[in-house]
Amino acid sequence: MTIVIDSVAGIDEAGRGPLAGPVVAAVVLLGMNQTIAGVRDSKQLSPSRRSVAANRIRHEALEWAVGEASREEIDELNILQATLLAMRRAFAGLTRAPVRVEIDGNQAPSLPGFVGAIETIVGGDRFRPAIAAASILAKVHRDAMMDRLHLSYPGYGFDQHKGYSTTQHRSALIALGPCPAHRRSFAPVRAAMTAGSHTS
């Protein structure tokens, strides 16, 4: 990677908590003092505003990339390690390197070949522009994936709750049993399997 002087990369994830679907991470490379209009923590934005902000980020950021870890990898590795894997994959998608990487949370993935500074920041998506931008791209990307999963498994409401453990989702899980997108290592999914629902 060619190092971009006076640049920072923010990394954030979407989808650690849901009962189904992949975990997604995004990285956004910005100039050191660069901000993008409308960019803030993805949880503070409506879906329509997130979509507008995501388009701005894709056009105005120096570079960006997205990485995923599948449901199977989550079950095999555990959700923390799968999240760090998604972050590594996102960072590997950059063609240029920042001088500093800022990561939301208190855990940093290993970033082979990167020689700059790495900083973990709890709640960083609220006040670090690059992390906030990454949170938006990760959320928009994952939501679109869950919308596609809804087309394959329409009974669960993935297009509404995006796989999170809502009352609607838990009721469907009990009634229908897990689908292939459900995380077998998560307790509510295991409970539905134990209750005798089909496990295709």
Q: Where are the domains of the chain?
A: 2-149, 151-194
The C-alpha R_g of the chain, in whole angstroms, comes to 17
d(CA 20, CA 70): 10
- Give the pLDDT of residue 5: 85
Q: Which residues pair with 31 in a beta bridge?
A: 7
| Amino acid 183: pLDDT | 98
How much is the pLDDT for 43?
82
Q: Which residue, among 10, 27, 14, has the nearest Cα to 140 in the 3D structure? A: 14
At residue 118, does pLDDT exceed 50? yes
- Tell me how far apart the alpha carbons of residues 32 and 9 are, in angstroms, rounded to a whole number: 9
How many Å apart are CA 191 and CA 200, to the nearest integer? 15
> CA nearest 74: which of 150, 142, 131, 133?
142
CATH H superfamily, domain 2-149: Ribonuclease H-like superfamily/Ribonuclease H (3.30.420.10)
In a 10 Å sphere around its CB, with 0-12 CB exposed, 13-18 middle and 19+ buried, how is residue 53 labelled? buried
User: In percent, how much of the chain has pLDDT > 90?
Assistant: 88
Does the pLDDT of residue 189 top 80, yes or no? yes
Give the C-alpha separation, 155 to 20, whole Å.
Answer: 13
27-86 pLDDT per residue, tens:
999 999 999 998 977 788 899 999 999 999 999 999 999 999 999 999 999 999 999 999
Write the DSSP string, 55-94.
HHHHHHSSEEEEEEE-HHHHHHH-HHHHHHHHHHHHHHT-
CA–CA distance, 137 with 57 (Å, rounded to integer): 8
Q: How far apart are CA 126 and CA 105, in angstroms?
A: 11
- 2-13 pLDDT per residue, tens: 888 899 999 999
pLDDT band at 17 (very low <50, low <70, confident <90, very high): very high
Give the residue carrying structure tokens 């908590």: 17
Mean pLDDT score of the chain: 94
Q: Is the pLDDT of residue 19 over 60?
A: yes
Q: Once rounded to an integer, what is the mean pLDDT over residues 169-192?
A: 96
pLDDT band at 196 (very low <50, low <70, confident <90, very high): low
| Three-state secondary-structure class, residue 132 | helix
pLDDT above 50: residue 199: no
Report, as an integer, the average pLDDT of 150-179. 97
Model confidence over 100-115: pLDDT tens digits? 999 999 999 999 999 9
